[in-house]
Amino acid sequence: MSSEKLFLQVRNMIADHLGKDAELITLESSFRDDLGADSLDLVEMIMSMEEMFDIEISESEAESIRTVGDAIGFIKSHV
């Protein structure tokens, strides 16, 4: 899967989950600071990513995912 396609899939999932405009979500967007995600949102999005890409993300790994770019990097290294 290309990096661009991966980004678009993750960006659209985040936009749908958080009710944000997908065009405003960038690789640098912080889930908490820029997108306003709370801890429950983060858990739900991690679960969605696990399901979408058939990967497992441990609690400690999830804690290191702070930006959209972090999520993309993690997914790319595990698929």
Assess whether 38 carries a catalytic annotation.
yes
- Cα–Cα distance measured from residue 26 to residue 68, given in angstroms and rounded to the nearest whole number: 7
Pick the catalytic residue: 16, 21, 34, 38? 38
DSSP state of 30: B
- Cα–Cα distance measured from residue 61 to residue 25, given in angstroms and rounded to the nearest whole number: 22
Residues with Cβ within 8 Å of residue 60, at least 6 apart in sequence: none
Active-site residues: which are they? 38
